[in-house]
């Protein structure tokens, strides 16, 4: 039996060495017996680490992204001496499938086939998943459970990688710099300027998070600010911050569904919340915003989006990466495309005034969040456990790469509640860039 085990391991090493040479890989492999492939690959070099033969068996039996995620989160399939960004940069030039055709398929099947019955499932990760379709019925209970799954993880955990104000949406870089605190302050101010906030305005922030925009708008623009969210831990900390800054008479946070809000507001912001609504629930969302916004009032629609497809039916088919994000990170989430947002805004009574793409801003934001989480990894593990930290690191890195490659985009669309006659907006954007 020992000879058989050693024989199949030797054949795997030979196959990996051949693939490494033919594809010109810029990373090596670390196997469960302590060896490296190529054998002379530096121990400090970038390595893909395979913890046991069951990893290969799992990938053979179920070659899905879900399998990879479970293996990685449980620590059985990992990389050393680098990050996912390094691994992405080390991809071979050209399409991997085409390059692999240089290796005889029969040989690959013979070698890997020896591992098909190896013990060990895809992983014992305990991360829960709320599912895909069942988490989009739009009810308050479902929405609350979805939001709690992601946002009520731990305020202390989010403090480890967000900026000082704990703004958990795309930052705005006025030029090429890497200061996340500055970029988030500039983002908050840009939102306020786009909404042309004035003293005495009633502002509603849909999905207000930990209250950063509410406090900024009240302190610097003299507005009466109201926020709404379903995340209980966010509400508790937001109210604590509001009290500490002496803003209780001007800032209020409501723990309720957005469509339960009443009253009329001069300006409304939705910054990174719309992604949670779900496409089938868009009519209710836009009707609610229209109901809450006064005539000619301004609404800023800030949301992540995907590129449009030939048909909306094709668009709603989820690629594997997108489905995994919804399953493990943002249950109930569903992205639209820019054309869908604009059509809905016009359909439900809004006039479009400005659209701005922030894709590269979010690429950098996610990278900075990832770097900060990695630098605080030990504290993060102590707070929420290693599995959740692994998953969140993967999600932040994956999002940064997706925005960098253009697979995901983000847009800010400024609209007003449509009425006849002048909109009342300035003739140019000059006032935004003072």
Backbone angles phi, psi at 88, to 5 degrees: -65, -40
Whole-angstrom Cα distance, residue 8 to residue 110? Answer: 10
Selecting among 192, 215, 366, 399, the annotated active-site residue is 399
Instruction: List, as own/partner pairs, every contact residues 283-286 make where C-beta atoms lie below 8 angstroms and the sequence separation is at least 24, other chains included.
Output: 283/344, 283/348, 284/138, 284/259, 285/258, 285/259, 286/344, 286/345, 286/347, 286/348, 286/350
Tell me how far CA of residue 285 lies from CA of 59, 262, 348, in angstroms: 41, 14, 10
Output the pTM of the full model: 0.95
Q: Give residues with Cβ within 8 angstroms of 38, minimum separation 6.
A: 17, 20, 21, 28
* 133-433 CATH, one of 3.30.390.10, 3.40.50.150, 3.40.1010.10, 3.30.1330.50: 3.40.50.150
CB count within 10 Å of CB 420 equals: 5
State the residue for tokens 């016009």.
346
Whole-angstrom Cα distance, residue 224 to residue 247? Answer: 10
Q: Where are the domains of the chain?
A: 2-113, 133-433
DSSP strands (E only) in 237-382: 251-255, 265-271, 293-305, 350-357
Residue of 185, 417, 214 lying closest to 300 (CA atoms): 417
Q: 399 an active-site residue?
A: yes
Q: In angstroms, how far is CA 404 from the centroid of its own chain? A: 13
pLDDT tens string, the chain, 434 residues long: the values are 344 789 999 999 999 999 999 888 999 999 999 999 999 999 999 999 999 999 999 999 999 999 999 999 999 999 999 999 999 999 887 777 777 778 888 998 999 999 998 887 775 555 555 444 446 778 888 888 889 889 989 999 999 999 999 999 999 999 999 999 999 999 999 999 999 999 999 999 999 999 999 999 999 999 999 999 999 999 999 999 999 999 999 999 999 999 999 999 999 999 999 999 999 999 999 999 999 999 999 999 999 999 999 999 999 999 999 999 988 999 989 999 999 999 999 999 999 999 999 999 999 999 999 999 999 999 999 999 999 999 999 999 999 999 999 999 999 999 999 999 999 999 999 999 87
Whole-angstrom Cα distance, residue 31 to residue 327? Answer: 30
């Amino acid at each position: 039996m020992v000879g058989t085990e050693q024989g199949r391991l030797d054949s795997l090493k030979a196959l990996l060495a051949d693939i490494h040479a033919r594809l010109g890989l810029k990373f090596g492999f670390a196997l469960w017996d302590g060896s490296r492939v190529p054998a002379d690959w530096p121990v400090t070099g970038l390595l893909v680490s395979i913890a046991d033969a069951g990893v290969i068996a799992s990938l053979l039996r179920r070659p899905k992204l879900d399998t990879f995620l479970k293996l990685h989160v449980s620590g059985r399939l990992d990389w050393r001496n680098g990050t996912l960004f390094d691994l992405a940069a080390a991809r071979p030039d050209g399409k991997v499938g085409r390059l692999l055709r240089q290796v005889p398929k029969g040989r690959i099947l013979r070698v890997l086939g020896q591992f098909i019955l190896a013990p060990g499932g895809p992983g014992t990760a305990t991360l829960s998943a709320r599912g895909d379709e069942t988490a989009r019925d739009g009810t308050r209970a479902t929405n609350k459970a979805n939001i709690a799954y992601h946002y009520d993880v731990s305020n202390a955990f989010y403090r480890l990688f967000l900026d000082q104000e704990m703004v958990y949406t795309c930052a705005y870089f006025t030029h090429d710099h890497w200061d996340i605190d500055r970029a988030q302050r500039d983002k908050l101010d840009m939102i306020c300027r786009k909404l042309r906030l004035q003293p005495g305005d009633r502002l509603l922030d849909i999905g207000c998070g930990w209250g950063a925009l509410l406090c900024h708008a009240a302190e610097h623009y003299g507005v009466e600010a109201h926020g709404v969210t379903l995340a209980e831990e966010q509400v508790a900390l937001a109210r604590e911050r509001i009290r500490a800054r002496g803003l209780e008479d001007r800032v209020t946070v409501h723990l309720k569904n957005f469509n339960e809000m009443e009253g009329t507001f001069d300006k409304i912001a939705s910054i990174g919340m719309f992604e949670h609504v779900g496409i089938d629930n868009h009519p209710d969302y836009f009707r609610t915003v229209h109901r809450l916004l006064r005539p000619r009032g301004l609404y800023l629609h800030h949301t992540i989006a995907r590129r449009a497809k030939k048909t909306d039916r094709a668009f709603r088919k989820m690629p594997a990466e997108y489905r995994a994000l919804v399953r493990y990170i943002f249950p109930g989430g569903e992205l639209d495309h820019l054309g869908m947002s604009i059509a809905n805004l016009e359909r439900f009574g809004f006039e479009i005034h400005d659209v701005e793409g922030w894709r590269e801003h979010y690429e950098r934001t996610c990278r900075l969040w990832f770097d900060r989480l990695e630098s605080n990894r030990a504290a993060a593990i102590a707070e929420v456990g290693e599995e959740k930290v692994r998953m969140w690191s993967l999600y932040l890195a994956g999002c940064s790469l997706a925005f960098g490659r253009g697979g995901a985009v983000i847009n800010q669309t400024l609209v007003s509640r449509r009425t006849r006659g002048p909109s009342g907006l300035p003739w140019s954007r000059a006032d935004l860039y003072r």
